[in-house]
A and B are shown apart, each in its own frame.
Chain A
Amino acid sequence: MRTRVVLGIVAVALCLLIGQTGVNDERASAAAALRPGGPAGLPGGQCPKRGGNLIVGQSGEPTSINPHRFGDQNARNIIIAIFSTLVEHDLQTYAIRPSLAESWTVSRDGLDWTFKLRANVKFHDGTILDAEAVKASLERSMEPASGRTAPLLTRVKSLEAKDPRTFVIHLSQPDRILLSTLLDVYIGPAGVTTERLGEAPIGTGPFKFVRWDRNRQVVLDRNPDYWRPGLPCLDRLTFRTIPEDSVRSQQLRTGQVHVSSSGLLGEMSNLASAGLVLHTPPSGYNMGLYNIHTNTRREPWRRQEVRQALSYAIDRDAVSKALFGFMSVLSNPMEANKRFLNPQAASFNKRDLDQAKQLLSAAGFSAGVDGGEAIVCGLGFQFNILGQLVQSQAAEAGIRLRLSILDVGTYVARTLGNRRGEYDIAVCAMVPKPDEYDLLNHPYAKLFTQTLGWIDQRREFYDLLDAARSTPGESAYRQAITELQRIAMEGQAEIIVGGRLDPTPARAFVKNFIPHMQGNTFFEAVWIDR
């Protein structure tokens, strides 16, 4: 009897709770799995040592420090030190966890997301974070020119600042990737224009903007009012622009620079022998994908057999060796998220030259085919190597390519910009988020729907991708992701060559640096131990 009463009370309490918050079963369990945000890698959440100025060498001047309008990693590294987001990645598991949002609930129909904001969070100018600031930040992110996030927020119907600590996003249709999108929505104060925020960035992040000495450095200071008590460990963070790889490497070796945020693949042996620590992403993860876009609106890339032939012709093991092993062999982007990997989907991990030749013959090119111009983004020496290997390996299968290594501006213009589509194949790298949806959305849809032109051939892929975003049930969603992989791997419109494993070199006294899958550098919990 007593047990029944207890069970009854528990059941009623649960019903009340669910009714009150409106969380459906699946999402409730997902939310329960989330842990409150805490610094990774710090014993007891406290810095073992405090102080110091960490100097980060960057490969170029940031084009902007505007959190809503930036396009390069050098800018992103600075922005993520100044701004916080509603949610964030756990740097070790890549689960999405609370950040400025303490918690959230989702309505039963998946259309209303209510976020409870953390209390007493201060912006760098001393004002308190409230729902109005979050609303203004979302609005800025939804401006058409906010390239990074605006196209992913099209399902947002309205935004509501319910009370100072409660913020609601109303959607026009359910959106599985909302939380993932919010990882890129940087929260700034209300009443500031996007332009102004770019000139004087004010966030709630671990570091405050001090000054930008153009063509030299961006200086940030510790935010003493940071909402994670006791953090950051460093007093100052200096992002120094050093475009020459050899000079950046030399400055790392001599200690003038403590961390290099990018590149230097060709300098790794020098750096390792000089005692620098090479930080690589956690095992099984990578820092983006080397990829080949094919222009499926042009011959011969219109033909699936030719695309498959090129993918089979690529010797991914040889490419990995040429890149000193800093590339993981994979052809399915989902290999970076094994939980959703479809093992039945075609794999091109093993080179098969005979198969490549057979496919070309089946396409009517038994004597080989002119593949046109292969443009390569000139982002560093590894891309030159990659382009040359793709050219020579394709030639072995009978696909002749003309190689053009382009500066970034020209590459962007010809793939996405005002001269879009002026290429036959394009060799570069991309940085999808580690979630299963973005691993498909990023390579095949997000940016490249038009430039790949594959939508003309496989409309069903894009319809299914769009539908999966709203799919409520886990099994149906998983099925959709499985099917999407099958179509993508069969189509090979985007050929994945491998996973980037570029290490981040740092001086040995730089402690607790955890590399991120998207190449971001987080310094919140880094300390200096000299």
Chain B
Amino acid sequence: MSLRYVAQRLLHGALVLWIVATSVFFLFRVIPGDPAAMTLGFDAPPEALTALRTEMGLDKPLHVQYATWLFRLMRWDLGRSATSGNAPVAGLVFPSLWRTLELASLSMILAIVIAVPLGMLAALRVGSAIDQVARVVTTIGFSMPTYVLGIAALLVFAEMIPLLPSAGYVPPSEDLVLHLKYLILPAASVGLVMAARLARFMRAGMLDVLSQDYVRTAYAKGLPRWRVNARHALPNAILAFVTEVGVNFGLLIGGMVVIEQVFTWPGLGWLMIQSTLNRAYDVVQISVLICAAAFVIVNLLVDVSYGILDPRIAYE
């Protein structure tokens, strides 16, 4: 893999990010409402709104606002959020991103741990009872919205059998055990649904590989079954699986909105929804940029991992 290729991809990524940033900037200016109206709320007389809009620079022409924001962004001055108590945007976005990454990573690990063996087993025992059960379970999981599972989990494990706290967040520095307890239900809700999706993918991938000539040849050569599966089938099936994991992980970072809302997990998704409702322009713009950047980076990492997982793949 050449450095030139990576540089090219990074350049493309930068272009994508600029397009995303510009689109979000103008999209949010089209939506009715602004940070001044949200700061003063229902009780704001028009004169006060006008005064606050001027104070916030919202009375300036759009292109001036855009140029100011872009210039500040290039200097990594993310500004302050007027509708979040004037907090620095960086102080809002990055801790939230970290919390989302934590939740998404744990969910994905859980999903992989379930999906890989389940998908493999179903593919290796295709048509068997195990396969049938796996297919039914994964279909249910696949079709179930995460928030339904989340609310059901809340009612069962936090209210009927109060084993876990229902929703909320405690920083690990404050109480690590409680922090992990708060993490279990949202991570399990996301992870189980994701596991269903990935298990189906794993099964399909394995079935495809198992029907290939080289697998048949390996069996014909008398290699033990486990060795054929582990050394020949799995590495080839895992390639497409890694792509799927990568894409889904990118989706998870931006797609935690609902589950974070249900579990009051103060991650990036929750921040985005609150900031959108509060018209916190700066916060939403940076949050969306981070989600876009996550996609760009994850896709690049997936492509890089191809070269590592399959030496036949080389990028020019």
Where the two chains meet, the residues of A that have a C-beta atom closer than 8 Å to any C-beta of B are: 60-66, 69-72, 143-148, 150-151, 195, 198-199, 212-216, 240-244, 246-247, 250-251, 253-254, 256, 377, 407-410, 412-414, 416-420, 422, 428, 430-431, 446-447, 450-451
Q: Which residues of A contact B277 (CB under 8 A)?
A: 60, 407-409
A65 closest partner in B (C-beta): B85
Interface mask (B37-55 → A, CB under 8 Å = 1, otherwise 0):
1111111111111011101
Cβ contact within 8 Å between B33 and A244: no
Q: Which residues of B contact A417 (CB under 8 A)?
A: 32-34, 36-37, 49
Cβ contact within 8 Å between A147 and B43: yes
Count of inter-chain pairs, beta carbons less than 8 A: 186
Cβ contact within 8 Å between B159 and A410: no
Q: Which residues of A contact B266 (CB under 8 A)?
A: 213-216
- Is B247 an interface residue when CB atoms closer than 8 A count as contact? no
Interface mask (B256-268 → A, CB under 8 Å = 1, otherwise 0):
0000011110100
Q: Write the nearest CB–CB distance from A291 to chain B, whole angstroms.
A: 11
Given A70-B41, A243-B264, A256-B165, the answer on whether A144 and B159 have CB atoms closer than 8 Å is no
Cβ contact within 8 Å between A147 and B45: yes
Q: Write the nearest CB–CB distance from A491 to chain B, whole angstroms.
A: 21
Contact of A413 among B37, B85, B262, B263 (CB under 8 A): B37
How many positions in chain B have a CB within 8 Å of any CB in the partner chain?
Answer: 54
Give the 5 A-B CB pairs with smallest separation, nearest first: A71-B41, A409-B33, A147-B48, A144-B51, A215-B266
Cβ contact within 8 Å between B32 and A409: yes
Cβ contact within 8 Å between B34 and A413: yes
A-contacting 9-mer, from B86-94, B133-141, B295-303, B306-314: B86-94
Given A63-B38, A150-B48, the answer on whether A199 and B43 have CB atoms closer than 8 Å is no
Cβ contact within 8 Å between B45 and A419: no
- Is B162 an interface residue when CB atoms closer than 8 A count as contact? yes
Given A246-B151, A410-B31, A413-B34, the answer on whether A198 and B48 have CB atoms closer than 8 Å is no
Cβ contact within 8 Å between B278 and A412: no
Contact of B45 among A60, A72, A151 (CB under 8 A): A151
Q: Write the nearest CB–CB distance from B314 to chain A, whole angstroms.
A: 45
Cβ contact within 8 Å between A63 and B85: yes
Q: Give complex CA distance A62, B91 in Å.
A: 16
| Residue with the highest number of chain A CB atoms closer than 10 Å, among B41, B166, B270 | B41
Cβ contact within 8 Å between A242 and B47: no
Contact of B274 among A60, A71, A414 (CB under 8 A): A60
Cβ contact within 8 Å between A447 and B43: yes
Q: Which residues of A contact B31 (CB under 8 A)?
A: 409-410
Q: Give complex CA distance A375, B69 in Å.
A: 33
Q: Which residues of B contact A409 (CB under 8 A)?
A: 31-34, 37-38, 277-279
Given A242-B167, A407-B277, A409-B31, the answer on whether A147 and B49 have CB atoms closer than 8 Å is yes
Given A71-B40, A148-B43, A412-B33, the answer on whether A253 and B85 have CB atoms closer than 8 Å is no
Cβ contact within 8 Å between A242 and B37: no
Cβ contact within 8 Å between B166 and A215: no
Write 14 A-B pairs (CB below 8 A) sorted by A numbering: A60-B277, A63-B41, A69-B39, A151-B47, A214-B266, A240-B168, A242-B264, A243-B261, A256-B168, A409-B278, A417-B36, A418-B53, A428-B42, A450-B46
